[in-house]
Structure 1
Amino acid sequence: MNLNLTLIAQALAFASLIWLIARFIWPPLLNAIEERQKKIAEGLAAADKSQESLAQAEAQISELLREARTKANQIIDQANARANQLIEQAKHEAIAEAEQQKTLAQAEIQSATFRAKEELRRQVADLAVAGAEKLISRQIDGSAQKALLDELAAQL
């Protein structure tokens, strides 16, 4: 065997193998690699886009939370103001009711006092009439009159 012939045969086999690989295997392999690179690039772009979307969503959530806290504080302040207003209104109503009851009690006291005075006047008038009857019915002398007046004063 000739070494040159073997070397040429090997060179031809290697060249045909390279031609087969370059013609049939290499283009689909390059296409697959390019497709994979595109998918990876798209995935990275989508990841970057989703990161941006996430950052925007977090910013929106922070803004919404801040607005919600502000509104909640406003509602709490309004509720406290309304509660204070209701307390003040209840105080004024209680004071007015107390004044009305006080006025009614004073009127009742005055009425009772007037009735008591009238009853006292009636009793004094009755006693005076009774005393006058006794004076008239007895003989009028100084000592009897004085005793009768003392008795009348004791009854009063």
Structure 2
Amino acid sequence: MKFFTRMFLCLNMFGLLFVGTASSVLAAEEVTGIAKLGFSLPGLITQIINFAILLVVLRIFLWKPFLKIIDERNKKIKLGLEAAEQASLQASESQSESKKILDDAKKEASQFVNDAREMADKLKIELEEKAKKDAEIILQKAKKDIERDKEQALAVIRKNFAEITISAAEKVIDKSLDQKTHQDLIDGILNDYEFEKE
């Protein structure tokens, strides 16, 4: 058990190291493609690895002990059935009693199998729901990141557009616009616009 815990921690540390190294390499390169949207391939790979590790750990520490309990229970039931059969052979006058024990053991075995199936189905549903919730959280985060990046891009475009417009206006009138000249130009355009409306 300690071995698996250490292995799990080592794999997680390796995953974090991998993400850090890959992130620094990606940071040094020009951001292109899907990275502009905020997705990180190393981060996604690390999440997939961590999810796989979680499934393996759950299988080792939850599923195998569960199966072991079921096997032990089945062995007990089989032993009970064998004891009932031996009792019926040895004592023919108590045949009805041994039949009752056998029937009870079969009902218990059937009930146990049904209970085990129900528990397995519940566990499966819980794991699926958790996976869906995790996927929804990741999707919502990605949407927020995309929206934030979109807003940042629009802000940069607006800023650049204003600078380009002023630069173009400076070239058209062949002089640099200071604050007063810029305000006079705007007032003149507004006055012309109001005059045309009348």
The TM-score with structure 2 as length reference comes to 0.40
Question: Which structure: larger Rg?
Answer: 1
The TM-score with structure 1 as length reference comes to 0.49
Flag the structure with more relative contact order, 1 or 2, with Cα contacts below 8 A and sequence separation at least 6. 2
